């Protein structure tokens, strides 16, 4: 016995150290994700119509005017539309010609009317029109999509409804994209285009005052890497805003890295060098900085990327000025440097005030009801059987992992001191989060939810049901165990603008009688088009239909992005055709450095991944597929199309990319099957020789002990150093830093 207590102390110390280390590493991972792959903010939709390149002007009589690229961007457009609003909420078309204020048929000159045909597709349109009020009349700037010529239309009536005529007459004004106007305080009007080229206009707006032009530069003398530039004078400061694309342009395999951001610069004088005041407004491209009549600072935006928070609709983000920066209002959980309220929860508390461990509330719900903005709720170890509702909240964090004596977050141990919300198969939705922002659930286990309620709401998301909140709802170090739903989302169901982020989470033994054994996302709302999982494990989940681990649906063409990095999928089973991960509708899928093993699909369906309809894209990179069973590993809709661009050059628009992946001992009829004609790719060599495959191998992955769930790689593994770093993510699933250059396949 003399060694018992020292050994016990040793093992408890090791366990505590491991739990605290896991918490510390997840914090590191969380910070890395927010810095390198910023979460998209929650934006409000202005108009539920497809409008790109949005521009808003403050006009006379406190009226707002909104324009942008509308209609079929890739086809033949009718003309230009303008919306007006007096309250920035309700917008009405002001056009009198079938809702248009200018049409090709009635108002265009000959060179504008020309319809071009590229690759069998007819095209004619107006790109990024803007309305401006100068010299007591209205002007429209635009770019013609066929020719690339930019121009200015002047209202003949002095009213926004027009009619309008071309100031340059029958000849184009000049080659120019992203055209805008700016009137300085001395009445001088400037024509701005491209990445910041500037022409001075004549006083009567009939043309340019000279043939020479200038260009905006930054404080280092460099031209600006910005498009769609707009300049506004706010409180005596010139603010230049526009858009910048990150990642590789075009059909690049690194879909999760690609963003279209909003950027802002400022200067003390219009033509002086501009200093960057905000590195990026994540996913906020296609718009500009804007101040309302009540001096509210906003960023309006609309773009067609898969991660734009408002989809194809024009939207607005509220901003706040902080020192020399512009910050997105309510974009993150509150600043941890300020003093925060801590509310304590413990099963053995006296349930009085919640201001200490001794006075702790005995339920999490009572702690929420007594919390204030920016509060942290600390929960001591134990079982909590009461369901929890977070409704219309902003900035709330719930942390588990406490023993009941700790004075700081760093002292908690999430493995030793498990906090378990247990529905005991009696509660339909153990945790409900409704229309709430900046919510963090950290170190909590949610189990035993049984979504067999009488209402539709009670049949979805047995563990967690999330409505709204975008990506500001985050789950870290959480476990979801043995939850069952009568419909979708055994563990988690998210919809109506909800795009929760999962970091270091485990999903085990969850069941859905429809789609999404573990998780179901319905990204069919204007501000809910992503789903993200980092370092997550899916084990032994089941769905009676599609997506035994994750089901992700988007009903807007090419929108919605499901991202999964460093994830492990083991022994999941689906009885539908969709596979372990199913993208439905038109969603995009990006899976990087993940491991799929022992997953099962039906003989006529997919074992691992079912792709959505084109133009949704599927990108699978640096992943391992080992001993999966089903009709095919990947079920796809289409492979690629050949496109002729404006320069009359052909290129392949590839819908599916499977690169640097390892396949071994999978019991499937084929690797890939195309659904509409049953075309199959049944071996790795054929895959690599196809348009959708590259650098894939067939070899033993050399796991340490796959049967016991240890999917780390042995030193002689064929999966070591076979990966591409084109989509580099710094850490693996064990939070080990990856080497530069060739990296390992799989999650470790």
Give dist(CA 304, CA 378) in Å, integer: 41
Give dist(CA 580, CA 570) in Å, integer: 9
Higher-pLDDT residue of 528 and 683 is: 683
Q: How is domain 377-713 classified at the CATH fold level?
A: Pectate Lyase C-like (2.160.20)
In this predicted structure, the answer to whether residue 578 has a pLDDT above a threshold of 70 is yes
Name the band, by pLDDT with cuts 50, 70 and 90, for residue 97.
confident
240 phi and psi angles, rounded to 5 deg: -105, 125
Nearest alpha carbon to residue 501 among 450, 438, 445: 438
Name the band, by pLDDT with cuts 50, 70 and 90, for residue 248.
very low
Give dist(CA 28, CA 36) in Å, integer: 12
What confidence score (pLDDT) does residue 697 get?
A: 97
CB atoms within 10 A of CB 28: 13
Give Cβ neighbours of residue 123 (< 8 Å, ≥ 6 apart). 74, 75, 76, 115, 116, 117, 145, 146
Range of weakest confidence among 294-298, 354-358, 474-478, 647-651: 647-651
In this predicted structure, the answer to whether residue 569 has a pLDDT above a threshold of 80 is yes
Give dist(CA 612, CA 124) in Å, integer: 30
What confidence score (pLDDT) does residue 276 get?
A: 87
In this predicted structure, the answer to whether residue 118 has a pLDDT above a threshold of 80 is no
What confidence score (pLDDT) does residue 384 get?
A: 98
Render pLDDT for 502-520 as a digit per residue (tens, 0 to 9): 999 999 999 999 999 999 9
Give dist(CA 405, CA 397) in Å, integer: 19
What confidence score (pLDDT) does residue 279 get?
A: 57
Kindly tell me the burial class for residue 453, based on how many C-beta atoms sit within 10 Å of its own C-beta (0-12, 13-18, 19 or more). middle
Render pLDDT for 346-394 as a digit per residue (tens, 0 to 9): 999 999 999 999 999 999 999 999 999 899 999 999 999 999 999 999 9
Parallel, antiparallel, or unpaired for β 137-144 and 126-134?
A: antiparallel
What confidence score (pLDDT) does residue 250 get?
A: 44
Kindly tell me the burial class for residue 323, based on how many C-beta atoms sit within 10 Å of its own C-beta (0-12, 13-18, 19 or more). exposed
Nearest alpha carbon to residue 577 among 560, 554, 600: 600
What confidence score (pLDDT) does residue 334 get?
A: 43
In this predicted structure, the answer to whether residue 529 has a pLDDT above a threshold of 80 is no
- Under a CB-based contact definition with an 8 Å cutoff, are residues 480 and 453 in contact? no
Nearest alpha carbon to residue 145 among 176, 167, 173: 176
User: To 5 degrees, how large is the angle CA 642–CA 530–CA 517?
Assistant: 105
Name the band, by pLDDT with cuts 50, 70 and 90, for residue 322.
low
Per-residue DSSP letter, 55 = E
CA distances from 364 to 36, 272, 340, 688 (A): 33, 55, 18, 53
Give dist(CA 139, CA 40) in Å, integer: 34
What does pTM read for this prediction? 0.88
Render pLDDT for 48-62 as a digit per residue (tens, 0 to 9): 888 989 999 999 999
In this predicted structure, the answer to whether residue 678 has a pLDDT above a threshold of 80 is yes
Give dist(CA 657, CA 403) in Å, integer: 48
Question: Structural domain boundaries of the chain?
Answer: 45-328, 377-713
Q: Is the peptide bond before 275 cis (omega within 30 degrees of 0)?
A: no
Give dist(CA 357, CA 346) in Å, integer: 7
The 51-59 sheet, strands edge to edge: 51-59, 63-70, 83-85, 92-93
Name the band, by pLDDT with cuts 50, 70 and 90, for residue 15.
very low
Name the band, by pLDDT with cuts 50, 70 and 90, for residue 331.
low
Parallel, antiparallel, or unpaired for β 116-118 and 121-123?
A: antiparallel
Render pLDDT for 679-701 as a digit per residue (tens, 0 to 9): 999 999 999 999 999 999 999 99
Residue by residue, DSSP assigns 558-611 as: T--EEEEES-EEES-EESSSS-SEEEEET-EEEEES-EEES-B--TTSEEEEE-
Give Cβ neighbours of residue 105 (< 8 Å, ≥ 6 apart). 78, 79, 113
* Helix intervals (H) in 293-392: 364-369
What string of H, E and C letters represents the secondary structure of 103-145? Answer: EHHHHCCHHHHCCEEECCEEEECEEEEEEEEECCEEEEEEEEC
Average pLDDT over residues 239-258: 71
Nearest alpha carbon to residue 569 among 544, 545, 542: 542
CATH architecture of 45-328: 5 Propeller (2.115)
Q: Which residue has the tokens 């894209």?
A: 617
Give dist(CA 443, CA 478) in Å, integer: 5
């Amino acid at each position: 016995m003399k060694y018992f207590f020292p050994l016990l102390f040793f093992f408890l110390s090791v366990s505590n150290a491991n739990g605290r280390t896991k918490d510390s590493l997840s914090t590191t991972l969380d910070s890395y994700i927010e810095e390198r792959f910023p979460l998209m903010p929650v934006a409000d939709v202005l108009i539920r119509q497809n409008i790109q390149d949005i521009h808003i002007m403050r006009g006379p009589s406190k009226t707002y005017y909104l324009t942008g690229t509308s209609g079929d961007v890739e086809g033949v457009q009718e003309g230009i539309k303008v919306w007006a609003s007096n309250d920035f909420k309700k917008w009405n078309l002001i056009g009198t010609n079938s809702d248009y204020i200018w049409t090709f048929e009635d108002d265009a000159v000959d060179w504008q009317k020309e319809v071009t045909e590229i690759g069998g597709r007819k095209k004619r349109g107006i790109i990024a029109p803007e309305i401006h009020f100068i010299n007591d009349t209205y002007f429209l700037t635009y770019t013609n999509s066929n020719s690339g010529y930019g121009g200015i239309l002047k209202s003949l009536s002095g009213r926004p409804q027009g009619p309008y005529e071309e100031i340059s007459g029958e000849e184009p004004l000049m080659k120019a994209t992203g055209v805008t106007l700016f009137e300085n305080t001395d009445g001088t009007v400037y024509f701005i285009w491209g990445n910041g080229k500037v022409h001075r206009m004549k006083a009567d707006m009939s043309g340019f005052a000279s043939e020479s032009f200038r260009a905006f530069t930054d404080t280092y003398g460099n031209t600006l890497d910005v498009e769609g530039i707009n300049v506004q004078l706010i409180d005596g400061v010139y603010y230049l805003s526009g858009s910048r694309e990150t990642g590789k342009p075009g059909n690049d395999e690194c879909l999760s890295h690609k963003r279209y951001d909003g950027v802002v610069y400022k200067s003390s004088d219009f033509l002086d060098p501009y200093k960057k005041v905000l590195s990026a407004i994540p996913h906020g491209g296609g718009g500009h900085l804007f101040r309302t009549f009540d001096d509210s600072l906003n960023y309006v935006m609309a773009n067609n990327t898969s991660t734009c928070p408002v989809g194809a609709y024009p939207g607005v983000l509220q901003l706040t000025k902080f020192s020399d920066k512009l910050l997105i209002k309510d974009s993150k959980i509150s600043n941890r440097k300020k003093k925060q309220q801590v509310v304590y929860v413990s099963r053995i508390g006296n349930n009085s005030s919640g201001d200490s461990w001794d006075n702790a509330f005995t339920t999490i719900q009572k702690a929420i009801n007594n919390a204030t903005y920016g509060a942290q709720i600390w929960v001591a170890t134990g079982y909590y059987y009461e369901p929890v509702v977070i409704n219309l909240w902003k900035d709330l964090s719930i942390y588990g992992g406490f023993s009941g004596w700790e004075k700081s977050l760093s002292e908690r141990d999430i493995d030793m001191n498990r906090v378990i919300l247990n529905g005991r198969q009696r509660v339909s939705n153990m945790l409900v989060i409704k229309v709430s922002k900046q919510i963090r659930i950290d170190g909590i286990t949610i189990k035993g939810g049984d979504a067999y309620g009488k209402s539709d709401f009670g049949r979805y998301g047995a563990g967690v049901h999330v409505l709204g909140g975008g990506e500001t709802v985050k789950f870290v170090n959480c476990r979801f165990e043995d939850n069952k739903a009568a419909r979708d989302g055994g563990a988690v169901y998210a919809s109506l603008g909800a795009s929760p982020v999962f970091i270091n989470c485990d999903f085990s033994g969850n069941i859905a009688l429809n789609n999404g054994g573990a998780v179901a996302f319905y990204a069919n709302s204007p501000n809910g088009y992503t789903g993200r999982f980092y370092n997550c494990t899916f084990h032994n989940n089941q769905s009676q239909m599609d997506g035994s681990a994750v089901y992700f649906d988007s009903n807007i063409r090419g929108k919605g992005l499901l991202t999964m990095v460093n994830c492990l999928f083991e022994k999941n089973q689906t009885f539908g055709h969709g596979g372990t991960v199913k993208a439905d509708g038109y969603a995009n899928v990006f899976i990087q450095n993940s491991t799929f093993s022992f997953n099962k699909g039906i003989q006529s369906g997919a074992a691992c991944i079912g792709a959505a309809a084109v133009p949704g894209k599927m990108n699978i990179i640096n992943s391992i597929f080992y001993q999966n069973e089903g009709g095919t590993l990947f079920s796809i809709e289409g492979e690629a199309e050949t496109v002729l661009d404006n320069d009359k050059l052909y290129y392949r628009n590839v819908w599916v990319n499977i690169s640097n992946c390892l396949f071994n001992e999978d019991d499937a009829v084929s690797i890939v099957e195309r659904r509409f004609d049953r075309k199959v790719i049944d071996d790795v060599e054929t895959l690599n020789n196809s348009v959708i495959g590259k650098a894939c191998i067939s070899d033993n992955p050399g796991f340490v002990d796959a049967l016991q769930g240890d999917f780390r790689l042995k030193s002689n593994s064929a999966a070591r150093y076979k990966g591409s770093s084109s989509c580099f993510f710094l850490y693996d699933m064990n939070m080990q830093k990856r080497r530069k250059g060739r990296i390992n396949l799989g999650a470790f």
